[in-house]
């Protein structure tokens, strides 16, 4: 059975686009036969903010069990604060959700 996957993309200015991130992440899912549940995109939102519209929506759906995996392009697209990243990873672990960064080492079961 294919893992249900949520993609999260973020750029910090309105002049930037998430298209490159999204393209790479969709390709990753296609190559591994991961089922994309939804693509969440925050555009023009600083990564230093823990509350972002698309991130908040994704976390709400994570808590409802809507997917098994979160896929991001890089850690800093998800969080700019180590504390925010670690807190989120702990919550994903409790929810039994894998967190994958395309450009960094994958994190599973709370270990690097």
Q: Residue 49 in 3-state DSSP?
A: coil
Active-site residue, from 12, 48, 81, 101: 12
Task: Please say whether the beta carbons of 7 and 39 come within 8 A.
Answer: yes
- Concerning whether 46 is annotated as a catalytic residue, the answer is no
CA distance 71 to 95: 15
- Write down how long the chain is: 112
Name the token pair of 50. 């823990």
Query: Annotated active-site positions, please?
Result: 12
């Amino acid at each position: 059975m294919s893992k249900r996957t949520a993609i999260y993309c973020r750029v910090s200015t309105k002049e930037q686009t998430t298209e490159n991130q999204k393209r790479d992440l969709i390709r990753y899912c296609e190559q591994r036969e991961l089922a994309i549940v939804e693509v969440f995109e925050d555009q023009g939102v600083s990564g230093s903010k823990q509350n972002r519209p698309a991130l908040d929506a994704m976390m709400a759906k994570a808590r409802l069990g809507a997917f098994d995996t979160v896929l991001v392009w890089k850690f800093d697209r998800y969080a700019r604060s180590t504390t925010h990243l670690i807190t989120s990873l702990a919550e994903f672990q409790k929810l039994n959700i894998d967190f994958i960064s395309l450009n960094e080492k994958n994190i599973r079961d709370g270990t690097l």
